[in-house]
Amino acid sequence: MSADKLKLKHAVFEALLSQKKAEFEKISKYQQDQLESINEADLDKSEMIESQTENMMREMRTESQSLDHLKEEVNFLEDYKSFKNREKVGPSCIVKTSIGNFVVAVPEHEFTVEGEKFTGISTKSPIYEALEGKTEGDSISFNGQEVKISQVV
């Protein structure tokens, strides 16, 4: 495998990690700002109507679950060290196809690295399940269309 392909793979994983860290920091800061604005005296459980503070606390509990999941994704990407060649589609690979380029790691909206667009997918995604174990040159049927695999890194 050429060094250029491995360099691109490394850059893609670094970009994905950077995006996930930025998202984590943004949500963490928002949550911290919300905590600072809560007035403890407003948390009167005897009120029949939910106060604005109680509503904010409920939202923060929900966001905390998202934050925990996001931290797991960041940890996964930080622990990723294997930039070796992959012949078959599997975890921690890049798959270039006729419908787009995928990074098998964690879900993420489309992002661009070195002029190429990539989408992060997990091993639980339907497209991954269809691609798993396939090699360059293979085709799959996904959502009623033929998808050709042009490269696995």
- Domain boundary assignment for the chain: 3-79, 94-152
Closest CA to 15 of 132, 84, 115: 115
Q: What is the pLDDT along the chain (153 residues), one digit of tens a residue?
A: 478 888 999 899 999 999 999 999 998 888 888 777 765 545 555 554 555 555 555 565 555 667 888 888 888 888 776 667 788 999 989 999 999 999 999 999 999 999 999 999 999 999 999 999 999 999 999 999 999 999 999
**Long-range pairs of 123-129 with CB within 8 A, sequence gap ≥ 24:** 123/91, 127/102, 128/89, 128/102, 128/104
The reported pLDDT for the residue numbered 48 is 47
Three-state DSSP state, 94: strand
For 45, 46, 101, 146, the CA distances from 59, given in Å and listed in that order, are 17, 20, 35, 42
**pTM to 2 decimal places:** 0.74
Three-state DSSP state, 114: coil
